[in-house]
Every structure is written in C-alpha cells, then in structure tokens.
Chain A
Amino acid sequence: MNSVILRTAASFLLPLLIMFSVFILLRGHYLPGGGFVGGLVAAVGFVLHMFANGLDETRRLLMIHPGYLLPCGLSLALLSGFTPVLITGEPFMTGVWLDDPVPVIGSIGTALFFDLGVYLVVVGVSLTILFTISEEVK
C-alpha cells in the first residue's frame, strides 16, 4: 500500500503502540491487561508498519527473525517459575516480590517476568505467522 498519509502515520504510531503495549503489560497484574494483550498490541504496531513500508523494511527494523522471540520468551517464563525454587525453596511458580516498589513500574516480582515472557512469545508468534502469510501473498 503506497500512501503517504499511512506511511507518515505509521512511523508515529509504531513507537506509540509499543509504549501503549508496555503500559498494558505493566498494569496487567491487578487490572485488565497483561502479557498476552500487550504482545498483541505491539504486534499490531509492527503489522501497521509492514502495511505502510513493506515487509522488507519491517524486517530490517526488527533486526532478528521474530521466531527467535519465541524461545526467548519461553525461557524467561520458565526462569521466572524456577526463581522461587532456587531462592526461597518454595514450590515452582510461587510469586517472589521485591520489598520496595520501584517508581513508575510498581512492584517487581516473578509474575512480571512471566508476563514479559508471554509478551515476547505472543509478539514472536503473531509476527511469524503474519510475515509468513504476507511472504506467500507476494
């Protein structure tokens, strides 16, 4: 799609959408949101960029193949599950939290890293699927 309006808008919207997705990711622990929705929003940002500038541009912007986000996200999620086993000896997946909340982000605990893992997996999977489809269309 070769439209100046779309291209200009997409280059502004991509960082905005990624910021918004991080916001959704962070508020997800007690409020609606979380890694899954956040990941989808971030993926939408890249898809919009792909519509405006073409697949090759988006690939260059991402630098790595989105498929690699999948094992990264999974291992992050697994590690966050292992943390309580290693640190406090509590069962797998028990939430371990820092005592003092960090400004802006809020309380940091293993649940956040688990969500971050989900976020990466969702971005990776949806972008891999969409890239593959649009490759075949071309």
Chain B
Amino acid sequence: MTQLIFLPILFQACIAVLLLFFFGKVKIQKIISIAGSALNLAVAGGVFYVVRLEGSMAVQAGNWQAPFGITFVADTLAVTMVLLTAIVGFAVSIFSAYTLSGNRIRFGYFPVFHFLMMGLCGSFLTGDLFNMYVWFEITIITSFVLLTLGNEKEQLEGAVKYFAMNMLASLIFLTALGILYGLTGTLNMADLSGKLMAIENRGLVNVCALFFFFGFGIKAALFPMYFWLPDSYHTPPTAVTAVFAGLLTKVAVYALIRVFSLVFIPEAFFNNLFLIVGAFTILSGGIGSLVQNNIRKVFSYLIICHIGYMIIGLGLFTQAALAGMMFYLIHDIIIKTNLFLMSGMIIKIKGSTDIRQLGDIYNDHPRIALLFAISLFSVIGIPPLSGFWPKISLIWGGIEKSDYLSVGFILFGSFITLMAVARIWSKVFWKSSTVTAPPNAPLFFDQLSKRRRFWILFPVGFLSVVTLYIGFGADNIHLIASRIAEDLINVDAYIELVLGK
C-alpha cells in the first residue's frame, strides 16, 4: 500500500517516456499528454485520499533503511502539493495542446513538460535533502528547455537571466548541503532534525541555514533576489509561464517551509528575517505591479508580492499563521496559473500585451470577461472568494503575536493588489482598445473554430471552478491547512514515521 507514494512520480515518468517514443508526432503527443494528465489527476487524487484517510506514509526506495537509503514521505503537505501540481498540469496540458505552435511540440515540448511535472512531484515527496537537490536540478533543466524552446531573441535574453540566477541558487544550495553533511553525516531530513540540535557549533549551523535561505530565496523570488523573475517570465509562450508562475516559485516556498520547520528549528533571528524579507517582498512586488505596462509583467510582480504573504506566515510561526500560509499557498498555485492562462487568452483575443493599447474585452466578450472576473476578484480577496480566508488566518496569527507591523503589511499588500487588479480591469476590460495593425500573432481568437475556442477556454474555466471551490468550500481547505500547520509545528510524528523509533 505504501508503494502508492511513488505513483505520482512514476506515472509522469511513464507519460514522458511514452511521449519520447512518439517524438515529433504532434497529434499523438497531444492526445497522450492530455489523457495522461487527466489520469494523473485521478492518481494524485487517489494518493491524496488514501493519505488523508490512513495518515502519512513513508517508503525507503531500494529498501535501504533510513537514514542510509533515500526516503520518500507522503504527509498531508506533500500530497496536497502533488494534487495541486496535478490540477495545474491538467489545465496547462490542455491549454498547451490548443495554443502552442506545431513546431514547439515537434521539438519535444510535451516530454519535457512531463519531466518537469515529475521533478516537481519528486521534490514534494522526497524526505532526503540531497534527493531534493536532484529533483530541483531536474525541474531547472527542464524549465530551461521550456523557456528557450522556440529560439526567439527575447526568450534567450530572459533565459540567460533565469539560468544565471537559478544556477547560482543551486550552487548555494549544494554548498549548504556540503556543510550540513560535514556537520552531521546525514542528509535525511528526519535524521537531521535530531542531530542538528545536538551540535554545539551554533554559528556554523546558522550560516548553513542562511545558505539555505538564500538558495531557496532566489528560486522563490524573495525581496532582494527577485529581479530575474519579471525579466524572464514574460518571454516564453503563456502555457509555459503559467506552469512556472503556478509551481516553480512555489516549490522553493515549499522547500523553505520544509527546511525551516523540520530541519532548522525556527529561532528568533530567522523568524524576524522572514518577517522583514516578507514585508519588503510584498512592498517591492506590489509597487512593481503598479508601474508595469506589459500585462504579463504586472502578473509577474503580483507573484512576487504574494510570495511575501507566505514568507510572513512562515516568520510568524503560530498555528493560525501557518494554516493561513498553507491556505494561501493552495489558493496561490491555482490562481497564479489561471492569471497567466488568462493573459494568454487576452493576447490571443487582442494580439497585444501592452495594457495601454488593450481594451474592450468586456465589450466584445462579456461572458469571458465575467469568467476572468472570478479569478481577478479572488486574487484581491473579495470576501466569499478564495483570497479572503487565508488573509484572515494570517492577520489573526499576527495579532496573536502582537506583530502589528506585519499585519499592516498584509493589509497594505491587499490594498496594492486591489489597485493593480483595478488598473488591469479598467484598462484591459473597460477602456476602448487601440490595438492597431495586428502583430505576427498566429491566429486571433475570434477566427478560431468554435471547438477550439471551447478547449482554450476550458482550462481557465476549470481552474476558476477550483478557485470557487477553494472560496466556497473554505471549511474543507482550512481543515487541510490546519492539519498541515499542526504537522509543521509538531515534527515528532514525521521523524517517527521515517526513522521508525
């Protein structure tokens, strides 16, 4: 039964290998990818259900006992992330099949996409820090390919920045692993948790923790290290950016959560560091989103802004704040993917990304505009929608710790988000459009066949329904988030599960 844990990883690997057999055959690849992603949704849902029902599970790959072998652990946090990955993967797979040019698919878009999904599932499920590094490398290498596939000048320019910063982050991560292994002789997270406490050289342990903070911080686009993100995320096709926006920065946030709750027991210094960095991340991301004119860059800055919430949640480290952080993470993965899919739709409809020229969407396509409104209002956090509930928990966490400054920043961040979204809404949806000669966009939305229009809209609709569920079914999501928060505070159960004491 516990072998189920491997299934999300292996299933993606199998899809990717199957796709490689049909390398260059566009139509078959589309079918395999969509069918595979739909099945994968069922697989991830099944694993999630089983873990919720029977509690966390751990398996030692290759049957070498922990801490010597590589452990895979499926606790509530990991399976939730895997399920979210599957949801995003399903939506993006359909969107890619109907919007990408045949050439990109011919040169291996889909196999690489599924290898990326495999890498993400792997980094969520592994219980070993070095193994996590390997999964991170897989996600980075595949994301390079996705970022540069198509060979446009703009793409390569963005990819250079992305490559340089992510390689630096990996290097820092690897250095930290080296120090950690030198200190304790193990890299199994559960084993480290106990052994690190016994080490007397606290200075070195803290330096090592800082290395982890910077390594993951670059990937998560935290305050001083975020500038690569808005410079590279607007260059590849929207389908690619949607995966990056939804999952790639969040996997680093996941790693931060895991490492700074399980391996390094949170100290006052790190909590304060997280609070300060989180506040500045909200500030810089929010202000950035207000001054940009490229619609995809506005959304890129909003990603940065909202990462700040989660980091503040991690810094507060109370039950309420952590539950709020987890709820926000769940909401954010779905909503950010959807925002970028929507920006892709807007580009398809109007053929421009410049919000000074865009407009008229509400006039021409009122129903589509309404669909977009669900996600846009959720981002702001209009009460019954999904962005609202996690903020309450976060603010409650701040009040519990009487950290009113952080509460202020959370409110300020919501306010800035409101302004940015209102600006998008009035300029892209209400204003009259001035897009002139259509640029070299392949096919405008209105000229597409009805069937194709439906399938391009379907992923956006699907993710909007998920968002609505997160908002209206907040009870269930909050239950999961609180459970995860409990697990993060009481790590003994995790350690016992892995080491079996």
Asked whether B10 lies within 8 Å of A78 as measured between CB atoms, the reply is yes
- Cβ–Cβ < 8 Å partners of B2 in chain A: 91
Q: How far, in angstroms, from A53 to B13 measured CA to CA in the complex?
A: 38
The verdict on A92 contacting B23 (CB below 8 Å), with A78-B13, A78-B17 known, is no
- Cβ–Cβ < 8 Å partners of B62 in chain A: 91-95
- Cβ–Cβ < 8 Å partners of B10 in chain A: 78, 81-82, 92
Asked whether A94 lies within 8 Å of B14 as measured between CB atoms, the reply is no
Please tell me if B227 contacts chain A, counting CB pairs below 8 Å. Answer: no
Residues of B within 8 A of A (CB): 2-3, 6, 10, 13-14, 17-18, 20-21, 23, 59-63
Asked whether B61 lies within 8 Å of A91 as measured between CB atoms, the reply is yes
Residue of A nearest to B108 (CB): A67
Q: How far, in angstroms, from A67 to B21 measured CA to CA in the complex?
A: 9
- Cβ–Cβ < 8 Å partners of A92 in chain B: 3, 6, 10, 59, 61-62
- Pick from A71, A81, A82, A95: contact of B20, CB under 8 Å: A71
Q: How far, in angstroms, from A89 to B17 measured CA to CA in the complex?
A: 24
> A-side binding surface: helix, strand, loop or mixed?
helix
Please tell me if A48 contacts chain B, counting CB pairs below 8 Å. Answer: no
Residue of A nearest to B64 (CB): A94
- Cβ–Cβ < 8 Å partners of B17 in chain A: 71, 74-75, 78
- Pick from B6, B13, B23, B63: contact of A90, CB under 8 Å: B63
Could you pull out 30 A-B pairs where Cβ atoms are within 8 angstroms?
A67-B23, A68-B21, A71-B17, A71-B18, A71-B20, A71-B21, A74-B13, A74-B17, A75-B17, A78-B13, A78-B14, A78-B17, A81-B10, A82-B10, A84-B63, A85-B3, A90-B63, A91-B2, A91-B61, A91-B62, A91-B63, A92-B3, A92-B6, A92-B10, A92-B59, A92-B61, A92-B62, A93-B62, A94-B62, A94-B63
Closest-CB distance, A69 to chain B (whole angstroms): 10
Closest-CB distance, B475 to chain A (whole angstroms): 36
Q: How far, in angstroms, from A81 to B17 measured CA to CA in the complex?
A: 14
Residues of A within 8 A of B (CB): 67-68, 70-71, 74-75, 78, 81-82, 84-85, 89-95
> B-side binding surface: helix, strand, loop or mixed?
helix
Q: How far, in angstroms, from A111 to B18 measured CA to CA in the complex?
A: 22
Q: How far, in angstroms, from A17 to B10 measured CA to CA in the complex?
A: 34
- Cβ–Cβ < 8 Å partners of B6 in chain A: 92
- Cβ–Cβ < 8 Å partners of A75 in chain B: 17
Q: How far, in angstroms, from A75 to B10 measured CA to CA in the complex?
A: 11
Q: How far, in angstroms, from A95 to B62 measured CA to CA in the complex?
A: 7
Residue of A nearest to B62 (CB): A93
- Cβ–Cβ < 8 Å partners of B3 in chain A: 85, 89, 91-92
- Cβ–Cβ < 8 Å partners of A68 in chain B: 21
- Cβ–Cβ < 8 Å partners of A84 in chain B: 63
Residue of B nearest to A73 (CB): B17
Residue of B nearest to A94 (CB): B63
Given A78-B10, A90-B63, list of 18 further CB < 8 A pairs? A68-B21, A71-B18, A71-B20, A71-B21, A74-B13, A74-B20, A78-B14, A84-B63, A85-B3, A89-B3, A91-B59, A91-B61, A91-B63, A92-B3, A92-B6, A92-B61, A93-B61, A93-B62
Closest-CB distance, B149 to chain A (whole angstroms): 16
Q: How far, in angstroms, from A75 to B17 measured CA to CA in the complex?
A: 7
Closest-CB distance, A124 to chain B (whole angstroms): 10
- Cβ–Cβ < 8 Å partners of B61 in chain A: 91-93
Closest-CB distance, B141 to chain A (whole angstroms): 13
- Cβ–Cβ < 8 Å partners of A95 in chain B: 62
Q: How far, in angstroms, from A71 to B14 measured CA to CA in the complex?
A: 10
Q: How far, in angstroms, from A89 to B13 measured CA to CA in the complex?
A: 21
Q: How far, in angstroms, from A85 to B59 measured CA to CA in the complex?
A: 12
Closest-CB distance, A9 to chain B (whole angstroms): 34
- Cβ–Cβ < 8 Å partners of A90 in chain B: 63
- Cβ–Cβ < 8 Å partners of B60 in chain A: 91
Closest-CB distance, A97 to chain B (whole angstroms): 13
